[in-house]
Amino acid sequence: MIDPSWIAGLGVILFGVGLIGVFTRNNAIVVLMCIEVMLNAANLNFVAGTMHYGDVNGWVFTAIAIAIAAAEVAIGLAIFLSLYSTQQTISLDDATTLRN
Amino acid sequence: MISDPLTVITIVPLAVSLALLILPKISGSAEGLARASRAISMGVSLAMLAITTMIFFGEIGNVDWTDYNSGYSLTNDAFALIPSIGVQWKVGADALSFPMIWLTTLLIPISMLVEWDAKKGHLFHPLILMMEGALIGVFVSLDMFVFYAFWELTLVPMFFLIMVWGGEDRKYASMKFFIYTFTASVIMLVGILVMYFYTPEVASSGTITGHTFDMSVMIASSDYIPSEGLRHLVWLLLLIGFATKMPSVPVHTWLPDAHVQAPTAGSMLLAGVMLKMGAYGFLRIAVSAFPESTVAFIPLLIFLGMASLVYGAWVCMGQTNLKRMVAYSSVSHMGLIFLGIATMQPLGIAGALFMMFAHGIISPLLFAVAGAFKHHYHTLEIGSMRGIAHHSPWLAAHMMLGWMASLGLPLLAGFVAEVTILIAFWMSFGWLVLLPTLTLIITAVYYLTSMQKTIFESNDPHHGILPDTLHGEDPRDISWHENSGMIILGALTILFGILPFIFWDMMSEWSSGFLIDTLVEAMQSEGVKP
Amino acid sequence: MMPELIMLLGLIAIVVVPNLGDAKFRLPLTSVRVPVLLGGSRFELTNDPRMPNRISNLTFSLALLSSLLLISESPSEVGGILAVDSFSRLFSTMFLAALLLVSIATTHRLPAKTNAHIPKESDSESVFDRKISILIDNRRQVDFYILLIMVGLGMTMMTMATNLFMLIVCIELASLSTYVLVAFHKEDGTGGEAGAKYFIVGSVASAIGIYGMSLLYLWSGSLDLEILRQSWLSMDGIDPFAAFGIGMMLVAFGFKVSAAPFHLAAPDAYSGAASQVSGLLATASKAMGFLALFRVLVMITVPDGSEAIWMIALGIFAIVTMTWGNLAALTSENPKRMLAYSSVAHAGYMLAAIAVVGSGISSVDQNAIILTAVSFHLFVLVLFKLGAFLVLALLETEGKGHEIEHLYGLGRRDPLIAGSMFLFVLSLAGVPPLSGFLSKLLMINGIVSTSASTGSSSSVDIVSWAESVDPLFWLAAAIVLNSALSLFYYLRIGLVMFFEEPSTEKSLRAAPSLRMAIFACALLTVLCGIGPVSEWLLDTVSSAIDSLMYE
Amino acid sequence: MGESKNESGLLAFILPFLAVVPALYMLEWESHEASILIVAIPFMTFPVILIAGQIYNGTEYWKDKLKEGGILALGALGASLSASLWLVYDYVDSLPDFYDQQSITQWLEWVSFDILQSDYTLTSGTKILGMGVWIDSITLMILFVATFLCFLICWFSLGYMNTDPINEDRNHRFYGEFVLFALGMFGMVLADNFLWLFIFWEVMGLCSYLLIGFYYWKDSAAYASKKAFLTTRVGDVFLMIGLFILYDIYGSLEFSVIFHDPSLDGMVDSNKLFWALLMMFIGAVGKSAQFPLHVWLPDAMEGPTPVSALIHAATMVNAGLYLVARMVPFVDVGHHGVPGLEELGLIIAYVGGITAFMAAAIAFVQNDIKKVLAYSTMSQLAYIFTGLGSALWFYNNDEHHAAVVVFGSSMFHLFNHAMAKGMLFMASGSVIHEMHHAHDHIHHGHAEGHGHDFDPQDMRNMGGLASKMPVTATAMMFGSMSIIGIPLIGGFWSKEGIIAETWLAALEHEPLMMGPAILVLLTAGMTGFYMSRMWFMTFAGSPKSEVVNHVHEETPWIKTPLVILTIITALGGFAFALLGATDYLASAYDYSGHLKLKKSTLLESIIYKLEYAFLPDKMNLRIVGWVTIFLSFIVGPVFAARIHGGKLAEGESSTPLVSWLVSLSSKFGSQDVSNLSESELSVALQNRLYFDDLYEGILARTVIPFSEFTAWFDRKVIDGMVKQVESKSVLGSVQIRNLTTGSARDYILMATVGMLSIIALLWGINS
């Protein structure tokens, strides 16, 4: 069995990747994906915690977090769609009519 | 007759003015509306004047104002407003506040009268009425929270008066007025809150903070503030708030702008009563609560007073705008109040109180005159006209009287205050008196020069030199309502110059009692010799 | 759980009712047609596009009523992760009040035409399009209120959460709905962008928060607040997992309360969204964030009698936030952005107050007072912040409200609305005797009374005292100076409303329900400042906080 | 023309006023109870005149019957006069003992207060700064002078002011302010304490300002009024300081308290007292137009002539003298005075001497008849100051007899000068008035602007008026004689004493006194010259302009007071001298004196008096006396006659009272001094020794730039800081708003930075 700390370590890496991704990438979809990655990092921690403490709550958390992520994707895509329909872009740097 | 007259004179104007501001809009606007709301406002303010006058004559409440030891008179049964934090509706008056209350009720109808039909719309007079309620509220409330609320509430109607009916630069002036004084009062608020925190725990249930805003309790419990440094700091914070309102150099620059832009009635109230709030608050709260700090900071008081007085007078001389000059002269005169308090003599403090009152009737006259110039000659530029006395003899006469009163001519109200303060000042500080006294010369110079350059010297017995701003219109003298307002103020100026004891006696008694009760101990411990 | 149940019912009703029609189901093999009510051509009543609004109003009214009645309910547990007490009821009352106001105020947001017809083939293209858009608008009414009730559910549930995860889930439920609400008004092209930005930044923040939460889970093995507190108290030194976890959760909540530098999307979102929604974000959503901060910071991490680890961070962020907000608002030409920045500044004031709670020098009583102050401020913010947004909403009904010029001469066009607006901005600025003053006073009082006593009692002059006093004292100074700064732009609104020439003399749209909401806000803004109403509110808040602090 | 009408019926209007005092007498009032009327009646009248004038301006009744308020004013002043005569009558021979005297009545408790003493307790008993009435011989004398002259000059004004069309519809202002002035003067004299003395003093200052500026549209008048007010204000401010110090020393400003024991049993610090008195003296210098605050008085002649007569010659300018006279008890070491204040007497004497000489010198070159009189006033007042200075010096050195003589002479000179100068001004007013009318008469029908070049006050346009205006010429002759000090007439009886005693001090006691002594002696001769010059230029010789031929005296309003005052001037001096006025007036600070003949019969008294005047005991005094007589009686007038004297034109003759003088003036030959008048000294004198230029230059270089600097400082620096805060905030605001770039990426970046900094703060600080 893998030591939970490895799983958590993977989570840290994933979180880092996601975090760097969200502010380096310009495409809203990619950013959304990065957010998913970050959420998955959290999920890994929950899993690791469950393994470490033998507490099933972690799994429940993971499941619900996945649900949240799914909802987020659904809503996010819908919003991006509406952004695209008005501004013909989903590039974050281009959608800057609201500023200052 | 009226069981709680102070509450009545505070609430009624506020309520009526709110009703007048809101109701007509609901019922739909009509042409006669303006006239009706004007008449109602005037009626209410006159009723308030009647009440305070009856209070003075003992018809209501039967108060002996010269009795210091009886404390606050006309108090009500405290009525809890926000018991959770110890806020009450508690009113009362003593010889410190009563002259100010009477002055307020006097100036409100006069300022309405002076601008009787100068302003369009139905909002002007109700706003002045609102001023009345707020100003009286400041003077009567014995709860610090309510005091502060009224203190800030006075800004709102004045803000509108300046903003809506002001001069060309009214936007800047009203903003500056509001922000400047508000900032100072929030700083003061920090001081008040420290005082609040050190009030003793009140056992009565219902408070969540365990403290009370009751003014007398707060003042009495200032001793519980453990550190002298903190007491000084709180005193200083309070001073910032009050000195800005007075205003004292170097926090005075809001005043000239506000005055120049304000409509006549606004200026009259601003100079007549609002500036006095600063001095009143300083005595009522800062000095009462922190006598030791006051005594320790006497040099600061002298500095501020001197700076305002001397510097203000010099700045006056450099002004070319009549109203601006008059505004700076207010700064200059307010400086004397600090000097009077700094003397730590009953005479000086009573002089300061009388200064508050005398300046309260003289400066409205000055501003009424300046406003009349603006109204009838459309300019305030000193030197843009000459020989106006020929066209506007009444205006010239009022100008003469007001200017003379302000420069401290004997038998006019201002002199009483000036001479008493300066006598006390000599007794306490000796030759330092040269500075304020010599400033009286400067005062005379700028006043006389401004008169010479407006109402005199046209070099033609039958025509004045009219300002360009008149655009060839026929010059007029002031209208009957302006005139009657100014005549009342002028007559009072003379009356209180000759018979100052009408209010002086109570002020003097108050000062003596206050000094003995509050300040003497601090003077002894600080080693300040009378 | 009564309010939640009511909302659930409302949610169902709002989904079902507009679909009710005369559809009949023919029993197979018979000609008996049994009405099933769902589908078919709808009844006149259910066909009314204003129906969803009415249902929503009714739902929120009932929920608010029940919440108010239950406000002093004795605490009860629900399933181990929810607990009802007067503190949670207090906040759900606040949320419901805000939502009710928004719901009432949105009656006129979208053009709801009762005489919508299905376009015919014979219609010209423009008529065809118009008919279609009317139909779409009418349909959207439902979506909007469904989302609104979802927000309500998320928020009220969130108040009761005793488990951190539950807390986050409820916040997400509310947040995700608000993202959509922000993007909802997408016709003018800004809604989509506003929603996208708000969504992206919000999601990142909540992702960070959830990650932080997972770290806490790794650290303590449970996310129950009570257990977390126990582990925190028994923690030896500072565990990096705990510190990182708390820090990351602060980011998530910081975004909710729009604290700098997490607030950057907020002005964009507020200005892109419908004003009612912006108002909701600035009040209820912000309150939600603060509630979460209470739970996490105050309930978990405040040690007894010593300084909390986040105290300095929070103090610094508080100052940065209030200064940033006020400075940015100073020259803002868009009143919605201006209010957004002002909302940022207010978050700063409240953060400053909360920072004092963590200072370790304040007694439990003082903490209770500070939390009371903050809660009270959040409560009255609903009145005047939302009220100000509603005034802008009224302007929005004529396509305006996003430029300061649109406020020009409002005083002449509609004095009562302008007067209310002026009241709102004065209250925001903290001018007595309005409620904004009372709440700000309580907060400053909390800071001052806690910190002033730390000064050396032997100091005889100001300088030595100032050196000896706890730096927290200067938070009060920061608030005071910021309040002064804020006056510039608040007064500017008053100035342009009463002073500038309006571009049109036309009076504003009637919109009676919106006006009613505005006037209710204005009236309560005054009443909650001084007198019995404020006393009642303060008392309620205070006892609710007591139930939180002394249980 | 209006003035030819018989208007004596108008006097009926003043009868009710005059009836007030008799009525009160009938009601068994005491004179001291009625004393308040002296001030109260004018006080009630002046607003009535001002307001009624403003309202009823131009109506027939107001203009013709009430003379635009003049009749009301006359009535009020008549009532004051009667009340004051009553007071004088009651007290003139029953003065209370000075040092234990109390105020005879209290009018007003103005302000009352406590004082915190150095043991931190309040004084027991409340202090009061109130107003009461104080009576002694000086009070009575000045009160009489003031009420009498006010009444007469008001009478004169009815003829002078109301006939000049330029004053039409403006006279109510004149009369109102005139009455207000009168009340100030009366109040000042009656006041029983220094504060109220000062208060009324300032009221007079105000009226002086208002009346000088009566022709407010004239640049020169507006400027002169301002100058007068400000210059006296400088003095007043110092006077105030003096009062503060005085109050500090004695805890009161009331005469009865202070004079009871001015040394407080030797406890008074003479240095402090010296400063108090010196400060008060500066006030007196301002009010009485002495060097160096003298610059306002000549300009003050811009006011109407009655104003010059009353305020700037006969009454107000005496206030300074009155104040200095009140300093005697402080220095009178014989009676609880404080020793060591000799310098004060010296300073006062020097100021007086310098002013006397300087003013006389400037008067040499003046051609404006009123200016000559103005400088003469200044010079004569300076005489009195010199006398008072010597008196103070004597008192302080316990030279009691000399002190009493010179003090009494000074006060007596005040009386003589007031009467003579009031009359001289009225006479000059009469001349100016008639010249003006004659000029208008000649140029009647000509274009309006034509007459403006003509100056009716310029003596170079006059000459030979003795035949046209016999009454005026007579009056002026006696007036000038009194001022010059022609033996036996008016001022002679007082001036001799001043000069002699000053010399006494210089010769026998204090060499430093030599300065003032020489100066006043020289001035005596100079006075002889310039007064004679004025008279000769005006009345003798042949007419220097055509206007003179059309001059004729007419209105009785003008003649009546001239005649009355001529009699008083001519005979009053001798008469009062016989009655021992000098001693009586000095008795204020000594014992209860009585106004009575020194010797048992009139003849014996006359002989005694003459002997005393011409052949005093001490040789050096005798020399001084005769030198004075020689200079003033012989040298001055003869030179004047040589330069300006001359016969009247052919066919003109005058009354015998003056014609002898005219013909005498032509006997001394003539001398052309035109080259002298172009000398540098003469130019300097014409420019008033450049004092005005100096003051103006200093003010223009210091005060005005400094005030402009402060105004700039206030606008740019103090308010500039406020504006800086504003503009910097706006700048910061724009910059900080630019951080909201609109790109969600940047927002996320910022949030990440925020997260990292939070973690750093949490983790970094706590581990």
Residue B1 confidence (pLDDT) above 80 = no
- C488-522 pLDDT, tens digit per residue, is 899 888 888 887 888 887 878 888 889 999 999 99
- B261-289 pLDDT, tens digit per residue, is 999 999 999 999 999 999 999 999 999 99
Test the B interface: residue of D217, D452, D712 with most B CBs within 10 Å: D217
> Which of residues 4 through 33 in chain B touch C, CB cutoff 8 A?
21-22, 25-26
Predicted pLDDT at D449:
44
Whether B395 maps to a domain, the answer reads: yes
The fraction of chain D above a pLDDT of 90, given in percent, is 18
- CB A49 within 8 Å of CB C245: no
- Residue D591's pLDDT band, with cuts at 50, 70 and 90, is low
Whether B355 maps to a domain, the answer reads: yes
Of C64-73, C116-125, D544-553, the range with the highest mean pLDDT is C64-73
Measured in angstroms, the CA of D763 and the nearest CA of chain A are apart by: 17
- Residue C255's pLDDT band, with cuts at 50, 70 and 90, is very high
Q: Does A5 touch chain D (CB under 8 A)?
A: no
- Residue C319's pLDDT band, with cuts at 50, 70 and 90, is very high
Mean pLDDT of all residues in C348-373? 88
In chain A, residues with a C-beta closer than 8 Å to the C-beta of D746 are 23
- Higher pLDDT, residue C548 or C172: C172
A64/C186 CB distance under 8 A: no
- Residue D378's pLDDT band, with cuts at 50, 70 and 90, is very high
Q: Which amino acid is at D249?
A: I
In chain D, residues with a C-beta closer than 8 Å to the C-beta of A31 are 744-745, 748
Q: Number of Cβ pairs closer than 8 Å across B and C?
A: 159
In the Cβ-directed half-sphere of D138, how many Cα atoms lie within 13 Å? 28
Q: What is the DSSP string of D202-266?
A: HHHHHHHHHHHTTSTTSHHHHHHHHHHHHHHHHHHHHHHHHHHHHHHHHS--BHHHHTT-TTTTT
In chain D, residues with a C-beta closer than 8 Å to the C-beta of C309 are 762, 765-766
Q: Does C469 touch chain D (CB under 8 A)?
A: no
- CB D296 within 8 Å of CB D311: no
Residue D191 confidence (pLDDT) above 60 = yes
Whether B388 maps to a domain, the answer reads: yes
D168-199 residues labelled b (16+ CB within 10 A) or e (exposed): eebbbbbbbbbbbbbbbbbbbbbbbbbbbbbb
Long-range contacts of B326-329 (CB under 8 A, 24+ apart): B326/B259, B326/B271, B326/B363, B326/B366, B326/B367, B326/B370, B326/B406, B327/B255, B327/B256, B327/B258, B327/B259, B327/B260, B327/B267, B327/B271, B328/B255, B328/B256, B329/B363, B329/B366, B329/B406, B329/B443, B329/B446, B329/B447
Q: Which of B389-403, C304-318, C423-437, D92-106 has the lowest mean pLDDT?
A: D92-106
D762/C247 CB distance under 8 A: yes
- CB B96 within 8 Å of CB B280: yes
Mean pLDDT of all residues in D99-128? 82
Measured in angstroms, the CA of D762 and the nearest CA of chain A are apart by: 19
Residue C509, exposed/middle/buried by CB under 10 A (0-12, 13-18, 19+)? middle
Share the mean pLDDT of chain C: 87
Is chain A in touch with chain B: ≥3 Cβ pairs within 8 A? no
Cα distances (Å, whole numbers) of residue D175 to A27, C551, D181, D250: 95, 88, 10, 40
Q: Which of B217-226, C535-544, D51-60, D645-654 has the lowest mean pLDDT?
A: D645-654
Chains that touch B (3 or more CB pairs under 8 A): C, D
Predicted pLDDT at D653:
77
- Residue D453's pLDDT band, with cuts at 50, 70 and 90, is low
Measured in angstroms, the CA of D244 and the nearest CA of chain B are apart by: 5
- C369-427 pLDDT, tens digit per residue, is 899 999 999 999 999 999 999 999 888 887 777 888 888 888 888 888 999 999 999 99
C419/B82 CB distance under 8 A: no
**CB-CB: which of D215, D243, D718 is closest to B250?**
D718
Mean pLDDT of all residues in D379-392? 91
> Which of residues 724 through 763 in chain D touch A, CB cutoff 8 A?
737-738, 740-746, 748-749, 752
Residue B465 confidence (pLDDT) above 80 = yes
Measured in angstroms, the CA of C385 and the nearest CA of chain B are apart by: 20
Other CB atoms closer than 10 Å to residue A44's CB: what's the count? 24
In chain C, residues with a C-beta closer than 8 Å to the C-beta of D739 are 264
Query: Radius of gyration over alpha carbons of chain B, in Å?
Result: 22
pTM over 0.95: no
**Terminal C-alpha separation, chain B:** 44
- Residue B370's pLDDT band, with cuts at 50, 70 and 90, is very high
Task: Please report where in the chains the tokens 């949490």 appear, as a residue.
Answer: D762
Predicted pLDDT at D447:
44
Q: Does D401 touch chain A (CB under 8 A)?
A: no
In chain A, residues with a C-beta closer than 8 Å to the C-beta of D738 are 100
Whether B290 maps to a domain, the answer reads: no
- CB D644 within 8 Å of CB D536: yes
- D513-543 pLDDT, tens digit per residue, is 889 999 999 998 899 889 988 888 888 888 8
Predicted pLDDT at B76:
85
- D63-83 pLDDT, tens digit per residue, is 877 888 888 899 999 999 999
Test the C interface: residue of D731, D736, D757 with most C CBs within 10 Å: D736
- Residue B333's pLDDT band, with cuts at 50, 70 and 90, is very high
Test the D interface: residue of C255, C262, C359 with most D CBs within 10 Å: C262
Q: Does C317 touch chain D (CB under 8 A)?
A: yes
The SS3 of residue B126 is helix
> Which of residues 488 through 527 in chain C touch B, CB cutoff 8 A?
488, 491-492, 494-495, 498-499
Test the A interface: residue of D734, D735, D736, D743 with most A CBs within 10 Å: D743
Whether B332 maps to a domain, the answer reads: yes
D219/B459 CB distance under 8 A: yes
Q: Which of B83-87, D174-178, D384-388, D736-740 has the lowest mean pLDDT?
A: B83-87
Measured in angstroms, the CA of D722 and the nearest CA of chain A are apart by: 26
> Which of residues 397 through 436 in chain C touch B, CB cutoff 8 A?
415-416, 419, 426, 429-433
Mean pLDDT of all residues in D392-418? 88
Residue C117 confidence (pLDDT) above 80 = no
Predicted pLDDT at B25:
60
Beta bridge partners of C482: none
Residue C474, exposed/middle/buried by CB under 10 A (0-12, 13-18, 19+)? middle
Domain count along chain B: 1
Q: Does A87 touch chain D (CB under 8 A)?
A: no
| Segment (H or E) for C360 | none
As a whole number of angstroms, the distance between CA B147 and CA D495 comes to 70
Q: Does C268 touch chain D (CB under 8 A)?
A: yes
Mean pLDDT of all residues in B29-45? 82
B499/D229 CB distance under 8 A: no
As a whole number of angstroms, the distance between CA D325 and CA C88 comes to 90
> Which of residues 244 through 273 in chain B touch D, CB cutoff 8 A?
249-250, 252-253
D744/A92 CB distance under 8 A: yes
- C198-213 pLDDT, tens digit per residue, is 999 999 999 999 999 9
Predicted pLDDT at D485:
86
Token pair for residue D494?
A: 């007082």
In chain D, residues with a C-beta closer than 8 Å to the C-beta of A93 are 743, 745
As a whole number of angstroms, the distance between CA D133 and CA D139 comes to 10
Residue B203, exposed/middle/buried by CB under 10 A (0-12, 13-18, 19+)? exposed
Predicted pLDDT at D1:
36
Task: Please report where in the chains the tokens 């990747």 appear, as a residue.
Answer: A17
- Residue C432's pLDDT band, with cuts at 50, 70 and 90, is confident
In chain D, residues with a C-beta closer than 8 Å to the C-beta of C331 are 730, 733-734, 737
Task: Please report where in the chains the tokens 């009268």 appear, as a residue.
Answer: B113
Predicted pLDDT at D2:
40
Other CB atoms closer than 10 Å to residue D438's CB: what's the count? 20
Query: Radius of gyration over alpha carbons of chain D, in Å?
Result: 31
Predicted pLDDT at C62:
94
- D713-765 pLDDT, tens digit per residue, is 998 998 899 889 888 989 999 998 888 888 888 899 999 999 999 988 888 77
Chain D nearest-CA residue for A24: D745
- Residue D3's pLDDT band, with cuts at 50, 70 and 90, is very low
Chains that touch D (3 or more CB pairs under 8 A): A, B, C
Measured in angstroms, the CA of A22 and the nearest CA of chain D are apart by: 7
In chain D, residues with a C-beta closer than 8 Å to the C-beta of A28 are 744
As a whole number of angstroms, the distance between CA D357 and CA D377 comes to 12
Whether B162 maps to a domain, the answer reads: no
Of B48-52, C79-83, C186-190, D219-223, the range with the highest mean pLDDT is B48-52
Residue C32 confidence (pLDDT) above 70 = yes
Whether B245 maps to a domain, the answer reads: no
Mean pLDDT of all residues in D412-422? 90
Share the mean pLDDT of chain D: 85
SS3 for D485-510 is CCCCCCCHHHHHHHHHHHHHHHHHHC
Whether B310 maps to a domain, the answer reads: yes
Mean pLDDT of all residues in C45-73? 87
Find, among C506, C515, C529, the residue nearest to C391 by Cα.
C515
Residues of the domain holding B356? 297-530
Test the D interface: residue of A12, A25, A92, A94 with most D CBs within 10 Å: A92
In chain D, residues with a C-beta closer than 8 Å to the C-beta of A22 are 748, 752
DSSP 8-state secondary structure symbol assigned to residue C25: E
Q: Does D444 touch chain A (CB under 8 A)?
A: no
Domain boundaries, chain C: 302-551
Q: What is the DSSP string of B54-111?
A: HHHTTSSTT--TT-GGG-SBS----EEEEGGGTEEE-B-B-TTTHHHHHHHHHHHHHH
Q: Number of Cβ pairs closer than 8 Å across A and D?
A: 35
Beta bridge partners of C21: C42
Q: Which amino acid is at D629?
A: I
**CB-CB: which of D737, D738, D743 is closest to A93?**
D743
